[in-house]
């Protein structure tokens, strides 16, 4: 009989060894699935915050994350984003009330943004985006006409109010359809009836007029405007006074030529609420 013939058959594996092997495989699969989830699944953030893949935040010093106001009553999202705002056509990226350009956030203080509101106050979406690196971002859903939070992070990452794009939007039913309506924001208290619109565009702009229409379509007026250089390249600022205009929601667009044929920005709704 050959050596091969004389070799004894393998002994059957015990139930304990098989069970251990299955447990090891299960543990490895759990680790792999957890690691995959960390890379592929978005971070669990409130619905009003920026949708960000958690896998893109790992290398950032202060990643965009959910935070709480000093009194713990309100949650918001703040931190650094992994990439810039993606905007192709000319679009409104910021709407503020007119203020001095040298305003800054300071460490060790509570920052406060405010806005005017006509009628009943409802939940809004407040959005701040830095126009310079690092790409600081903040999102909140205040139910008030102001929002306050710990200023330490924004004072460190983007202390200059000039380089923060600010948009405050509310969903308002116009006709039969809900629409996003913008309100101008200011740093701190006070009020101004002059609004500063910041527009980003990859192509050069030569804006000349603003077309302002009532939501019922019964009134429409064209105003001459003058654009100025924006806070960063590929942006322009437009200052427009609403001091003599009635309060309410209006549809606005900026044009390169007089009349409807020269519209270069998509029409957008704004809420006009004059200073008292």
pLDDT per residue of the chain (276 residues) written in tens, 0 to 9? 433 344 434 444 444 544 444 445 454 444 443 333 333 334 478 999 988 877 778 778 899 999 999 999 999 999 998 877 665 668 899 999 999 878 999 999 999 999 987 665 678 999 999 999 999 999 999 988 899 999 999 999 999 999 999 999 998 888 888 999 999 999 998 999 999 999 998 888 889 999 999 988 788 999 999 999 999 999 999 999 999 888 889 999 998 865 544 667 888 999 998 887
- According to the model, what pLDDT value does residue 23 have? 47
Q: In a 10 Å sphere around its CB, with 0-12 CB exposed, 13-18 middle and 19+ buried, how is residue 79 labelled?
A: buried
- CB neighbour list of residue 214: distance below 8 Å, 6 or more residues apart: 220, 248, 250, 251
Identify whether 79 is part of a domain: yes
Does the residue 30 lie in any domain? no
pLDDT at 53: 77
**Closest-CA residue to 270 (of 197, 217, 199):** 197
Full residue range of the structural domain in which residue 68 is found: 54-272
**Position 31 in a domain:** no
Please report whether residue 15 resides in a domain.
Answer: no
Give the pLDDT confidence score for residue 24 in this predicted structure. 53
Note whether residue 198 is domain-resident. Answer: yes
Q: 222: part of which helix (H) or strand (E)?
A: strand 220-224
- Residue 175 counted as domain residue: yes
Residue 28 lies inside a defined structural domain of this protein: no
By DSSP bridging, strand 91-97 and strand 136-140 are unpaired
- Integer CA distances (angstroms), 159 to 104, 163, 165, in order: 5, 8, 12
Cis peptide before 134 (omega within 30 of 0): yes
State how many domains the chain has.
1
CA separation for the pair 13, 16 (Å, rounded): 8
In a domain, 45, yes or no: no
**Can you give the pTM of this predicted structure?**
0.76
């Amino acid at each position: 009989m050959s050596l091969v013939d004389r070799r004894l058959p393998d002994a059957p594996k015990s139930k304990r060894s098989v069970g251990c092997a299955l447990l090891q495989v299960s543990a490895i699969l759990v680790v792999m699935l957890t690691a995959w989830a960390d890379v592929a699944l978005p971070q669990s953030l409130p619905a009003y915050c920026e949708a960000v893949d958690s896998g893109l935040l790992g290398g950032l010093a202060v990643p965009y994350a959910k935070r709480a106001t000093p009194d713990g009553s309100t949650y918001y999202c703040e931190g650094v984003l992994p990439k810039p705002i993606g905007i192709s056509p000319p679009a409104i990226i910021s709407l503020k009330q007119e203020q001095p350009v040298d305003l800054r956030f300071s460490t060790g203080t509570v920052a406060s943004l405010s806005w005017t509101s006509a009628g009943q106050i409802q939940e809004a979406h407040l959005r701040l985006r830095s126009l310079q690196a690092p790409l600081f971002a903040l999102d909140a859903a205040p139910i008030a006409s102001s929002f306050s939070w710990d200023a330490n992070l924004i004072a460190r990452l983007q202390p200059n109010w000039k380089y923060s794009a600010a948009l405050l939007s509310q969903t308002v039913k116009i006709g039969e359809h809900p629409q996003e309506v913008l309100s101008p924001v200011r740093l701190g208290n006070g009020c101004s009836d002059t609004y500063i619109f910041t527009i980003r565009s990859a192509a050069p702009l030569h804006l000349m007029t603003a077309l302002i229409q009532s939501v019922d379509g019964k009134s429409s007026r064209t105003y001459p405007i003058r654009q100025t250089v924006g806070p960063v390249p590929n942006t322009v600022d437009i200052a427009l006074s609403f001091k003599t205009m009635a309060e309410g929601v209006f549809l606005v667009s900026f044009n390169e030529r007089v009349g409807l044929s020269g519209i270069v920005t998509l029409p957008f709704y704004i809420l006009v609420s004059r200073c008292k």
